[in-house]
Structure 1
């Protein structure tokens, strides 16, 4: 194989490497997009009790950028197939900008874990006074206590005698029938876990997933940038 043949072989190798890396990036971006949407929908019932919008911001950043990543992956594949230098350069610049944004979103997801620990308990205690007064707070507490099977911030005694029905243990799976607990709450008829510990673990687990997903895709994007630079230099 001559010099020209080796150059063509290397060019094709880089070309297919770029195509495969973009395919992986597209899959990773799609996964982050789906996880982000699920997280946005799934955490709505806790949003009024968190005391910070940092998590929401991180998730929305990752959802938007992951959608852009999927589109850009198609753009990169097309540029590799057509071997257009201008398109490859544009692809690299856009990918780098999205890489930085995605990485920031992933890091914010991790930073949120520390922030929420400081604000969530205080916000929960203050919101118990607004139960039955503000509809959003009432709905948030009822949904949280029903879904996470918890009561109060740390114990049912946090409600100070005005125990919500959602604190009562369910008798059937549909949650239609509950044990009578509002007048005489005990450990046998109310949920025993406090909503702060259960809710914090619930949010932290999802912050870990969304943060790790964003960082992993950001790392995959590095390979896309490397292959695009190599292929750009090989095209005459």
Structure 2
């Protein structure tokens, strides 16, 4: 029994796109990691860049395994590819469930990480500079407890009385951690959409790889029978 060429090349092109996307994710992640524009505060509270680098590397490896396994009709590589996709799918599903169920714990974890910067005034100049940039951009003051995180309130905390975020004493009262959490919640739908798209791709990859694996097994079995 011959292997279906359509399935074979569909899997190959799927993995080629998978590999290219891994290259893009890895390249962008490394650029952000080494970029001088990286903010110490956001890197600490949202260590997503390191995760993106890891994801990029994993996708690169899996894309290569899938491409090579499809072209060479290698059952071992295809099975390894299938198992890897299955593991990632389960982890993605588990992460989504945990993220929804343990949302409060995630917020507490993030605030606990940011508390390590308090008192803010005693931090190195580069950290203070990054924090002041963050305060200007998000229109907030302090990391966890608001203005009280500072021993001396900087200019970046001061606001115009006409601004909606300006509460009293011409100083932003909301902490930056609350602003970051609100920002995360606003973009949650986008994140879920991306996760859903990845899950669909993983399912297609698993289906194609298993179909090809089964066809190769039948082909090898038929060849062995004929030879015998």
TM-score, L = length of structure 1: 0.62
Q: Does structure 1 residue 47 correspond to structure 2 residue 43? A: yes
C-alpha displacement of 1:154: 6.2
Q: Does structure 1 residue 18 correspond to structure 2 residue 8? A: yes
C-alpha displacement of 1:95: 0.3
**Cα distance change of structure 1 residues 56 and 21 upon mapping to structure 2, 3 Å threshold:** same
Aligned with residue 76 of structure 1, among 49, 52, 69: 69
Aligned with residue 66 of structure 1, among 59, 66, 70: 59
**Cα distance change of structure 1 residues 155 and 225 upon mapping to structure 2, 3 Å threshold:** same
Report the 3-state secondary structure (helix = DSSP H, G, I; strand = E; otherwise coil) of the residue aligned with 1:141. helix
C-alpha displacement of 1:100: 4.3
| Residues matched between the structures, number | 203
Residue in 2 that maps onto 1:175: none
Contact 1:152–1:158 (Cα < 8 Å) also in 2: yes
2:68 & 2:20 partners in 1: Cα distance?
A: 15
C-alpha displacement of 1:202: 3.8
C-alpha displacement of 1:210: 6.2
1:30 & 1:162 partners in 2: Cα distance?
A: 49
Matches within 5 A, 1:129-148: 129-135=119-125, 137-148=127-138
Q: Which runs of 5+ in 2 are unaligned?
A: 161-165, 224-228
Report the 3-state secondary structure (helix = DSSP H, G, I; strand = E; otherwise coil) of the residue aligned with 2:153. coil
Contact 2:135–2:176 (Cα < 8 Å) also in 1: yes
Q: Deviations over 1:146-186 (max 9, x none)?
A: 443433246753345522333345xxxxxxxxx7xxxxx86
Contact 2:140–2:172 (Cα < 8 Å) also in 1: yes
Aligned with residue 106 of structure 1, among 92, 108, 117: 92
C-alpha displacement of 1:229: 1.6
C-alpha displacement of 1:62: 1.7
**Cα distance change of structure 1 residues 61 and 190 upon mapping to structure 2, 3 Å threshold:** same
Q: Which runs of 5+ in 1 are unaligned?
A: 1-6, 80-86, 170-178, 180-184
Residue in 1 that maps onto 2:226: none
Residue in 2 that maps onto 1:215: 199
Residue in 1 that maps onto 2:114: 124
Which has the higher mean CA deviation after the structures are superposed, 119-128 or 32-41?
A: 32-41
